[in-house]
């Protein structure tokens, strides 16, 4: 017996590394001091920072991967992963420095791995983030044929004095929502049950209410808000930011609220996009579950002082974000969301 007959193909692993080296190297920034293939990635902060705080996060794509398996399209998954992680540290004011990935599968397919990493590299370049390294694990008998899991790890930095912690949020502040591009990377277990089990559709089925196929709607990449938020971070207008991921608005907004404050969200102020309306109606999902399972079209929610609202909306709209709007405010109470 040998390792290959046991299900681990070292040659496929080497071929995968060969293919992704160039993709990763194209993302390198001046801080990168190592090459892909080293035991550890090296990164220098340099001298541009005065009192930097490192901010890190790790996440996955969840069962959105099932849509990739069904469509055979894997190039958007890497974009989802990077942008999700970028947004998670952005809400604390950090900009990304470097990213690492972990890809695990039962039988390594270099073509699929290359698609995944091409998405990672594309998103890293767009966010000014170096793809510093990662791990590709071949684990025969652990994953179903043709399936894999992928996770991402990001490190960013922010000057200590510019950290966004939510501590400045107070009653009277205003909530501004910025649109998502779709489901992003959460709510897919419910969405898949509605679409594939309840409605019996395939990924190629075209939905008139959406104007596209199921696969196109559900694979739409998670959006990064980094470039949109940079001017607002520099101006100091943001008191708190919530990335609306698993748990929807209901569970994510309270994560940034200090003691003694509560968020009020006016559902009538927001036009819920067709995808979420279609899923809610088709699955007869109660409103409370919808707002706790999906982002409902709000990918990011900002808490700003009432006097800064016009300036914030002006910056967002001048950047092409016409969908941003006021959706509520902050009032006294325990950290929670009250829907009006």
What per-residue confidence (pLDDT) applies to 19? 84
| pLDDT per position as a tens digit, 247-266 | 999 999 999 999 999 999 99
Q: Which residues contact 188 (CB under 8 A, 6 or more apart)?
A: 62, 63, 64, 66, 67, 218
- Share of residues in the chain with pLDDT > 90 (%): 92
| pLDDT per position as a tens digit, 102-133 | 999 999 999 999 999 999 999 999 999 999 99
What confidence category does residue 3 fall into, taking pLDDT thresholds of 50, 70 and 90? low
Task: Assign 335 to helix, strand or coil.
Answer: coil
- Is the four-CA dihedral 299, 301, 302, 306 of positive or negative sign? positive
| pLDDT per position as a tens digit, 306-316 | 999 999 999 99
Domains and CATH numbers, the chain: 4-162 (3.30.1330.10), 174-339 (3.90.650.10)
Q: Is the pLDDT of residue 9 over 80?
A: no
For residue 224, the 8-state DSSP code is P
What per-residue confidence (pLDDT) applies to 164? 97
What per-residue confidence (pLDDT) applies to 16? 82
What per-residue confidence (pLDDT) applies to 10? 78
Task: Using alpha carbons, select from 258, 236, 252, 256 the residue that is nearest to residue 305.
Answer: 236
DSSP states along 20-83: HHHHHHTT--TTB-S-TTSSS--B--TTS-SSEEEEEEEEE-TTHHHHHHHHT--TTHHHHHHH
Average predicted confidence (pLDDT) for the chain = 95
What per-residue confidence (pLDDT) applies to 15? 84
| pLDDT per position as a tens digit, 202-247 | 999 999 999 999 999 999 999 999 999 999 999 999 999 999 999 9
Q: Is the pLDDT of residue 5 over 80?
A: no
- Could you tell me the pTM of the whole model? 0.95
What per-residue confidence (pLDDT) applies to 6? 66
What per-residue confidence (pLDDT) applies to 37? 82
What confidence category does residue 82 fall into, taking pLDDT thresholds of 50, 70 and 90? very high
φ, ψ of residue 56 to 5 degrees: the values are -125, 160
| pLDDT per position as a tens digit, 19-70 | 889 999 999 999 999 988 889 999 999 999 999 999 999 999 999 999 999 9
- Beta bridge mates, 136: 103
What per-residue confidence (pLDDT) applies to 167? 95
What confidence category does residue 176 fall into, taking pLDDT thresholds of 50, 70 and 90? very high
């Amino acid at each position: 017996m040998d390792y290959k007959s046991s299900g681990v193909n070292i040659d496929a692993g080497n071929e995968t590394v060969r293919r992704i080296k160039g993709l990763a190297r194209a993302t390198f920034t001046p801080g990168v001091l190592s090459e892909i293939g080293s035991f550890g990635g090296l990164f220098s902060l340099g001298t541009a920072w005065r009192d930097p705080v490192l901010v890190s996060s790790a996440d996955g794509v969840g069962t959105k991967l099932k849509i990739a398996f069904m469509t055979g399209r894997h190039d958007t998954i890497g974009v989802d992963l990077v942008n999700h992680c970028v947004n998670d540290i952005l809400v604390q004011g950090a900009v990304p420095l470097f990213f690492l990935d972990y890809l695990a599968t039962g039988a390594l397919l270099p073509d699929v791995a290359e698609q995944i990493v091409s998405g990672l590299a594309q998103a890293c370049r767009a966010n000014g983030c170096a793809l510093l390294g990662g791990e590709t694990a071949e684990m025969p008998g652990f994953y179903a044929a043709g399936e894999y899991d992928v996770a991402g790890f990001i490190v960013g930095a922010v000057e200590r004095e510019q950290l966004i912690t939510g501590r400045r949020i107070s009653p009277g502040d205003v909530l501004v929502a910025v649109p998502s591009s779709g489901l992003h990377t959460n709510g897919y277990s419910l969405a898949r049950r509605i679409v594939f089990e309840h409605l019996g559709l395939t990924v190629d089925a075209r939905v008139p209410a959406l104007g596209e196929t199921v696969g196109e709607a559900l694979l739409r990449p998670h959006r990064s808000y980094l470039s949109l938020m940079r001017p607002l971070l520099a101006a100091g207008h943001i008191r708190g930011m919530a990335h609306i991921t698993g748990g929807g608005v209901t569970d994510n907004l309270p994560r940034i609220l200090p003691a003694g404050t509560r968020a009020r969200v006016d559902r009538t102020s927001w036009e819920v996009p067709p995808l979420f309306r279609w899923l809610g109606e088709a699955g007869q999902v109660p409103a409370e579950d919808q707002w706790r399972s999906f982002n409902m079209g709000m990918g990011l929610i900002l808490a700003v002082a009432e006097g800064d609202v016009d300036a914030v909306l002006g910056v967002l709209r001048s950047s092409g974000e016409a969908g941003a709007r006021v959706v509520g405010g902050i009032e006294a109470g325990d950290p929670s969301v009250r829907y009006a």
